[in-house]
Structure 1
Amino acid sequence: MAPAVDLQLLVDQIIVLGRKIEDLEVIEGRYLSMLQTQTADGISIFSTTLIVPTVRDSLSLTRLEICNTAMEHCRLINNLRLVDEHLATVHNLGVWNTMLKRQDQLLLEESAYLADQGAFKEGNLPNLQNTRILIEKVREFLERDPTVSF
């Protein structure tokens, strides 16, 4: 194959993974909205209620799939970066930004779980553990991008 064909194939694979992540983010948003409550000021806060465990589990699984897909996207981006730095940055920026926002959201959720008391705290230990696993996966993704520093 000619190098231009290989480059186009690589870009096409990156685009497919980016779209898959976007689709998963829509699902993530639906689950997350079911776990948020509104304050009197209209601010959304994460609820640690124990009454919707299947939604919480589905949210974790969806986020895990996003993280795994993002890592594959990152691998392809780094391959593209070897050939065309600018093109790699263009195709990575959207995914990188949403992963950064995801990290912020996960850190808020971790804080909410840590603030729980009594039965809520005990009941949410698996959710806290899942959240921490996801935080590490997101951080791993963010650290693999050589153009961005913390």
Structure 2
Amino acid sequence: MTGVDEQRRLTAFHEAGHVVAVELRGGQVLDVTIEPDGRNLGLTQHCSKPCDYGFIAYAGPWATARAQWPLSELDGQDQDGCTFADYVTVELIREVDGDFAVYKAHIDDDHRYLGPTDAKIVQASREALWHRELEALWPAIQARANGLLNI
């Protein structure tokens, strides 16, 4: 597989993560593409409740990380000692202009309203819940990604 093919595959998983998250939360997917436009490698446009934006933003990088994770179980470490959470963090950071900005706004709101200590507890609990939800939906994300690749 070439680098371009691998990037297209990862983009399909990323956008599929967003799509499945939108649908899970009762939103409406308006459009999804995995074709680069010069600014984005892919894009999912949706109509969702603002309270779900953080989860939807998190789901794309989570799915990209999951597609790259080399182990069958998510509890271990890869050959470099990285955890699955490390993979997700890397993917979130790569999304500085889009998903990370939405995700960070969600975290900033927590800090503003709860204070830093409580916000960290809420954030850790929320991410653990999101992780369980997305892992349960992994087969649906895979199917959606494969559908995007076959368009």
TM norm structure 1: 0.34
TM norm structure 2: 0.34
